[in-house]
Amino acid sequence: MKLAVILVNYNGKKYNTACIESILASGGVEEIKIIVVDNASQDDSMRLLEERYAGNERLSFIRLDDNYGFSYANNVGIRSAVEWEADAVLLLNNDTEIASDMLLRLWECAKRHSGSMVVPKIYYSDDRKRLWSAGGSVSRVIRKVRHIGLDETDVGQYDQEREIAFATGCCLWIPMEVIRRAGTLDERFFLYYEDTEYSFRLQKLGIPIWYCPKAVMYHKVGASTKGADSPLCAYYIARNWLLCSRLHLGRRYPLFLAYYALNRTVCCALWLVRGKKELARETLRGIGDYRKGRFGRAAYDR
């Protein structure tokens, strides 16, 4: 088994080392290569990594000349993994740490469910009994995704291995045979909803997604985007939720639009009441860019 672990870095100096060290401390996989793809970081994170891991053949570094987004950078890493002849890739957020046996547990699950994408159980990094994701579910009509177990204390209620409908891009074990069938991430999304779109695409192709509770990791939630209450988040969610739903909802899309209009109106009203008018402004900007067909990196974010 040759596994390529792909980390996308953007000003991740605070997080990279802990993540990489947890990967290097892992066992159970015969060959691992960590591919760090840098989205033109403005801190000195890449210099520090290159100095720290100089001569370590298990790491390679790819520097991009601009910030092209999460999907693009992961796709660059996937192409590098193909050249290395990896059997599978693990797309992993760099603001995470993994348990020493997580890779082994994911590999075992992937072997039990050949041709599937596999995800672990994810806890908050600062509260390692509190769940962030025990897989994901999708609502029946408008196909809204949610993390199963979000904010619950883990008392074993999600310890059963099962097939799920949605996988968070925080950690995705993807066999190369799945990539050959389904392709790579959609680069129009730049940030947010690329994992939702990929989950929906796999479902259309009949490719299962499995949740493996014995595989465990910890996530510093919101580290890369400063959390859900950021203008950046409001813009990309407003735009990309529309795009993802248009691509996959078919005849249910008009019903989704009615729900979306109500949902975003309520959110904007609450933000205005709380004095967070910038969130409402960026939501409207995201909707406007969707209508104009402007995807990828937001013009205002350059």
pLDDT-derived band of residue 27, with 50, 70 and 90 as boundaries? Answer: confident
Please give the average per-residue pLDDT across 156-182, as a whole number.
Answer: 98
Report the alpha-carbon distance of residue 238 to residue 282 in Å, rounded.
Answer: 8
83, 82, 63: which is closest to 73 by C-alpha? Answer: 63
Q: How many CB atoms lie within 10 A of CB 67?
A: 20
pLDDT band with cut points at 50, 70 and 90 for residue 75: very high
- Residue 35 corresponds to which amino acid? I
> Which has the closest alpha carbon to 121: 14, 219, 26?
219
Burial class (CB in 10 A: 0-12, 13-18, 19+), 211: buried
Which of 1-10, 100-109, 127-136, 215-224 comes out lowest in average pLDDT? 215-224
Residues 6+ apart with CB under 8 A from 156: none
Closest-CA residue to 154 (of 216, 220, 222): 216
- Note the pLDDT of residue 228: 62
41: its two tokens: 């970081």
* Each residue's pLDDT tens digit, 170-197: 999 999 999 999 999 999 999 999 999 9
pLDDT in tens, 102-140: 999 999 999 999 999 999 999 999 999 999 999 999 999
Buried b (16+ CB within 10 A) or exposed e, 29-40: beebbbbbbbbe
Give me the percent of the chain exceeding a pLDDT of 90: 94
What average pLDDT does this structure show over 67-80?
Answer: 97
Indicate if the pLDDT at residue 300 is higher than 90. no
Please state, rounded to an integer, the average pLDDT across all residues of the chain. 95
Among 48, 62, 57, CA closest to 18: 48
The letter for the amino acid at 67 is: N
Sign of CA dihedral 266, 269, 271, 276: positive
pLDDT at 20: 98
pLDDT of residue 222: 61
The span from the CA of 193 to the CA of 191, in Å, is 7
Residue 223 has pLDDT above 60, yes or no: no
Q: What is the pLDDT of residue 229?
A: 76
